[in-house]
Copies of this chain bind each other. A is one copy, B any other.
Amino acid sequence: MQRTFRHDIMEEIKTRFANRALKDDDVSQETLEALVEAASFAPSCFNEQPWRFLVAKGERKEKLCAVLTPQNQEWACRAPALMLLCAKKTFTQGGKPNFWHLSDAGCALGFLMLEAERRGLTAHPMAGFDRKKARETFDIPEDLEVVAAVAVGYPGDLELLSERNQERNHPAARRPVGELML
Q: Residues of A at under 8 Å CB distance from B? A: 3, 5-10, 12-14, 16-18, 30, 33-34, 36-43, 45-47, 49, 51-55, 84-87, 99-100, 102-111, 113-115, 118, 125, 127, 138, 140, 147-148, 172, 174-175, 177, 180-182
Contacts and interface: CB of A to CB of B under 8 A. Distances in A.
Contacts of A30: 7
A106 B115 contact: no
Question: Which of A30, A39, A41, A55 is the most central at the interface, judged by chain B CB atoms within 10 Å of its CB?
Answer: A41
6 contacts: A49-B180, A52-B181, A54-B181, A55-B182, A103-B106, A108-B110
A148 to B, nearest CB: 7
B110 A42 contact: yes
Given A103-B148, A107-B110, A127-B100, A115 B37 contact: no
Contacts of A40: 174-175, 177, 180
Given A10-B114, A40-B180, A103 B105 contact: yes
Given A103-B147, A104-B106, A111-B114, A33 B7 contact: yes
B107 A182 contact: no
A47 B41 CA distance: 26
